């Protein structure tokens, strides 16, 4: 666990350094580079599972894995952080450029989740190639939305 912690710290520090050198906000880097690296193993596993004939399991892991990370990872982190704060919570200021890009990231993620859920439910839990194209398009628009919001 110590090695994982050290490697995670180094990766985040390198990402922050890249953000400082390029002037890109951390929310945009998290939405692209960090999330791609974090999801690569899951993507390979899901592709292997679906090629083995377990498409339903692969689809479930695509939704359940990130949901678990959000609920448990973000929930525990927020809880522990709030234990040490006297003001009663983590301050999230949307009046700064970083806050606006973070809010844009949250809204984009929510839109992607609602779109994916709608596509899945409307098509009886079957995702075709045209649906994947729509989801990739929504993700691309989300990245542009966050990039524009971060310039504000």
What mean pLDDT is predicted for residues 73-102?
75
User: So what's the pLDDT on residue 52?
Assistant: 92
Average pLDDT, the chain: 81
Residue 91 has pLDDT above 80, yes or no: no
pLDDT digits (tens, 9 = 90+) for 120-143: 888 887 778 888 898 888 888 888
pTM check: above 0.85: no
pLDDT digits (tens, 9 = 90+) for 15-62: 888 888 988 877 778 778 877 877 888 888 888 998 999 888 887 887
User: So what's the pLDDT on residue 97?
Assistant: 67
Q: How far apart are CA 8 and CA 2, in angstroms?
A: 10
User: So what's the pLDDT on residue 88?
Assistant: 66
Q: CB of 138 within 8 A of CB of 111?
A: yes
Residue 152 has pLDDT above 80, yes or no: no
Residue 31 burial (C-beta neighbours within 10 Å; 0-12, 13-18, 19+): buried
Q: How far apart are CA 25 and CA 117, in angstroms?
A: 29
């Amino acid at each position: 666990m110590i090695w994982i912690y050290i490697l995670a710290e180094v990766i985040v520090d390198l990402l922050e350094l890249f953000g400082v050198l390029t002037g890109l906000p951390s929310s945009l880097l998290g939405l692209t580079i960090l999330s791609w690296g974090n999801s690569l193993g899951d993507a390979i596993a899901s592709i292997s599972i679906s090629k083995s004939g377990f498409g339903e399991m692969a689809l479930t892991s695509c939704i359940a894995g990130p949901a678990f990370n959000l609920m448990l990872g973000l929930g525990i982190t927020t809880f522990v952080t709030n234990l040490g704060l006297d003001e009663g919570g983590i301050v999230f200021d949307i009046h700064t450029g970083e806050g606006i890009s973070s809010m844009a990231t949250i809204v984009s993620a929510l839109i992607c989740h609602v779109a994916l859920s709608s596509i899945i439910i409307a098509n009886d839990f079957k995702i075709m190639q045209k649906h994947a194209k729509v989801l990739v398009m929504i993700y691309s628009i989300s990245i542009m939305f966050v990039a524009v919001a971060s310039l504000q």
